[in-house]
Amino acid sequence: MDIALLIIGLIFIIAGLIGCILPVIPGPPLSYIGLLLLHFTSKADITTFTLILTAVLAIVATILDYIVPVWGTKKAGGSKWGTRGSGIGLIFGLFFSPIGIFVGPFLGALAGELLFHYYHKKDPTDNAKFEKSLKAAFGSFLGLMFGVVLKIIISCFIAFLFVKEAIIGFF
C-alpha cells in the first residue's frame, strides 16, 4: 500500500507542477494532496506543522492567483472590461499553449480596454486611448506572471519536501 500511495502522490506532485503554468489545473492544492498521500505511508515522517504550513501556502497561492491579475489591472488603471477581456483571453490562450497562456490574457485585456476606451471614454486622441489600454493590459499580464511565479515557488517547495521525505523513508 505504501508504494501505491507513493506513486499516486508523485502523480499529484507532477500534476501540481504542471498546474502552476496551466491555469485550469490548481497546482499548489494538487501538490499538497501529493504530500498528504506521502504522509499516510508508514515510511514518511512529515510533521503536523509542515502539513499545516504547506496547506496554508497552497490555499493562499490559490486565492492570490485569482486576485492578483485583477488587482494588477486595476492598479494600472484598468476597467472591468480589461479584467473580463483578460479572462476571455486566458480561455482562448489555452488552445495555443504554452505561449497562448501568457499572451492570451494580455491581448484579451488590451482588447477589452480598447473597447472600453473607444466606446465609453471621451479621451482626446486615439493615441491616449491606446496608451491607457496598453498600460492596463500590461498590469494584467504582470499580475498573471506574479501568480504563476508564486504557484511555482510553493509547488516546488512542496515537491522538494515530498522528494526529501520519499528518499529518507523509502531508500
Q: Please give the chain's pLDDT, 171 residues, in tens.
A: 999 999 999 999 999 999 988 777 899 999 999 999 999 999 999 999 999 999 999 999 999 887 887 788 778 888 888 878 877 887 888 788 778 877 888 898 899 888 888 777 665 677 777 888 888 888 878 888 888 899 999 999 999 999 999 999 888
Residues in CB range of 22: below 8 A, 6 or more apart: 94, 97, 101
**Taking Cα atoms as reference points, which of 47, 43, 87 lies closest to residue 69?**
87
Between CA 88 and CA 112 the distance in angstroms is 9
Q: What are phi and psi of 40, to 5 degrees?
A: -80, -5
For 74, the grid coordinates are 486595476
**Taking Cα atoms as reference points, which of 140, 153, 162 lies closest to residue 57?**
153
CA separation, residue 79 to residues 20, 47, 48, 97, 131 (Å):
26, 45, 43, 26, 14
Q: What is the pTM of this model?
A: 0.81
